[in-house]
Amino acid sequence: MSKIHVDSKFSNRSKSTIVLLLKMLQTGEEIIWEGTTWPMGICSPLCCSSVKWKITNKRVDYVRGCCGSTESTLDVRRITDLQFHRGCFQLLLGRGTLTIFSDDRTDPQINISSFGMKRTYRKLREEWLRMKNVPTVVTTTGQF
């Protein structure tokens, strides 16, 4: 992978965002949905319970806990099933709940309830079905 240089007129935060986006373009990664959820409503910032999400066509990244103390990544190929649900009230507000089932031991079920989840569900399902048929190759070096 080639080295990426960003002009010095950008702030450090902007530079890191630009570098991240360029790396994603080089690897063929596409952001499907990115956002923050607050499981405890308006008390979430006080209880450090907000969750920052980034769902791409290759993985689901999320950061939670006090000051982002816990980071997790789920490879799309490890997803076993997807489900989308919304009640009457969520339907009126344009919200929904995306449930991701996986063979991951730490988080076998992930729930994301936010606006725009129907589109996210459709795109993630499309990528999951496409990636499900791609064989995974594991290589090892050295001796056991």
The per-residue pLDDT for 41 is: 74
CATH of domain 31-132: 2.30.29.30
pTM across the whole model: 0.72
For residue 141, is pLDDT > 70? Answer: no
Q: Structural domain boundaries of the chain? A: 31-132
Confidence of residue 1 (pLDDT cuts 50, 70, 90): very low
Is the confidence at residue 97, as pLDDT, over 60?
yes
Residue with tokens 């056991």: 144
The DSSP bridge pattern shows strands 51-56 and 31-37 to be antiparallel
Contact 16, 4 (CB under 8 A): no
